[in-house]
């Protein structure tokens, strides 16, 4: 599974980061999903390999502006680019009204169907041929949710070395075994599928959190997860200065939740504008968040960057694929 960060700033953009948006795709597929859509997300996409015609669904974590104000523009761009296929938008209450009103006020028609699904309902589930997505409640100033992306089960494949050892030629017999049917070998011996089928790879699971001041709420969701993408808006010291009324997580809180879940990979994002990538002596570096997290979590910690892409491989290793601008020709 592949994650491309289109915006990693909290509340408002900075000169280094845009507000929240994340592209999720299944490996090298051009089809993709969008989690949150802060202002100017459509502009960020101009630097990436993903197009609005191949967008399968949008998932909105909550209704705050830095997570939804890019939606009207992005959908308008899809109209102008000639999209015809229906588009599913999974979101809590308020998002459908926001979009419908924006189109009504701008007197723009939408030629493709918008399918809204309330993700704040307890029975919510999105499913297609590639992934199953569920929502999980968080703690914030408005209803906020995490989305758990689970890869669909991969069917077992034939072990070619075993097939060769049993003298089974390529052709219809391979298809029968792949379908779970027993066959007879050239010597009349019955060969069962379990003799030649390799174990399927384990499903990959990624959890993407919305704004949340209680990461421990995700403990049950992270049981089989490979990656948690979660906000770390402040360090502990910064939150003591600004107060807890904004209901955001610190790097320490997220790290402790990841440790409790024995999570392999943690990606921190949604950083306050006070933290800089290239901090001057009088400024605070974003590295302070990573340093704080490392004191409470010994797994793999990544600080999200705008346009950075990470690939969760089938062996569950997390590999950097660099930045969007270098992938456009891929």
pLDDT in tens, the chain (330 residues): 999 999 999 999 999 999 999 999 999 999 999 999 999 999 999 999 999 999 999 999 999 999 999 999 999 999 999 999 999 999 999 999 999 999 999 998 999 999 999 999 999 999 999 999 999 999 999 999 999 999 998 777 788 888 888 888 888 888 888 888 999 887 888 988 888 887 777 899 999 999 999 999 999 999 999 999 999 999 999 999 999 999 999 999 999 999 999 999 999 999 999 999 999 999 999 999 999 999 999 999 999 999 999 999 999 999 999 998 655 444
CA end-to-end distance (rounded Å), the chain: 16
CA-CA distance, 292 to 85, in Å (whole number)? 45
CA-CA distance, 306 to 74, in Å (whole number)? 18
Q: Which residues contact 163 (CB under 8 A, 6 or more apart)?
A: 174, 177, 196
Active site residues: 66
Per-position DSSP letters for 27-39, written without gaps between them: TT-S-EEEEEE-T
Residue 205: both structure tokens together? 């699971």
């Amino acid at each position: 599974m592949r994650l491309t960060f289109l915006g990693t700033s909290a509340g408002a953009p900075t000169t280094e980061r845009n507000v929240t948006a994340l592209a999720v795709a299944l490996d090298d597929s051009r089809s993709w999903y969008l989690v949150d859509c802060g202002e100017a997300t459509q502009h960020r996409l101009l630097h990436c390999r993903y197009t609005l015609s191949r967008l399968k669904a949008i998932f909105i974590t909550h209704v705050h502006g830095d997570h939804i104000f890019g939606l009207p523009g992005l959908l308008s761009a899809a109209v102008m680019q000639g999209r015809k296929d229906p588009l599913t938008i999974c979101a809590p209450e308020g998002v459908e009204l926001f979009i419908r009103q924006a189109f009504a006020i701008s007197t723009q028609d939408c030629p493709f169907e918008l399918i809204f699904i309330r993700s704040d309902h307890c029975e919510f589930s999105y499913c297609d041929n590639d992934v199953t997505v569920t929502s999980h409640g968080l703690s914030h100033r408005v209803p906020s949710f995490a989305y758990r992306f689970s890869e669909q089960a991969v069917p077992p494949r034939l072990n070619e070395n075993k097939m060769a050892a049993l003298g089974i030629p390529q052709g219809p017999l391979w298809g029968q075994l792949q379908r779970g049917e027993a066959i007879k070998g050239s010597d009349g011996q019955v060969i069962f599928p379990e003799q030649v089928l390799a174990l399927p790879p384990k499903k990959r699971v990624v959890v993407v959190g919305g704004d949340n001041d209680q990461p421990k709420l995700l403990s049950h969701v992270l049981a089989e997860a490979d990656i948690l993408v979660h906000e770390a808006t402040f360090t502990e010291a910064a939150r003591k200065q600004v107060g807890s009324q904004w209901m955001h997580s610190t790097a320490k809180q997220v790290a402790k939740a990841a440790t409790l879940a024995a999570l392999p990979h943690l990606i921190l994002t949604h950083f306050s504008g006070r933290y800089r990538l290239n901090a001057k002596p009088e400024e605070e570096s974003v590295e302070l968040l990573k340093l704080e997290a490392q004191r409470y979590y010994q797994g793999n910690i990544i600080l999200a960057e705008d346009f950075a892409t990470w690939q969760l491989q089938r062996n569950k290793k997390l590999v950097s694929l660099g930045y969007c601008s270098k992938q456009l020709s891929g």
